[in-house]
Amino acid sequence: RWRVERFFAWLFNFRRTLVRHEHKAENYLAFVLLACMKIMLRYF
């Protein structure tokens, strides 16, 4: 549970994922995936 909650906290540190500026769902999903990749690459 802690890992999931911490991951969402890290994810919402990226302003574009917190405040949805994108009108298309595909673009928003792309920015969420970029944020996820950046979080994951931080630990490799």
How far is residue 43's CA from residue 41's CA, in Å, rounded to a whole number? 5
pLDDT band with cut points at 50, 70 and 90 for residue 32: confident
17 touches 11 (CB < 8 A): yes
Tokens standing for 15? 């302003």
How far is residue 15's CA from residue 2's CA, in Å, rounded to a whole number? 22
- Span 3-21, pLDDT tens digits: 888 877 887 777 766 677 7
pTM: 0.67
12 touches 18 (CB < 8 A): yes
8 touches 35 (CB < 8 A): no
- Name the residue ranges covered by the structural domains of the chain: 3-43
% of the chain at pLDDT higher than 70: 86
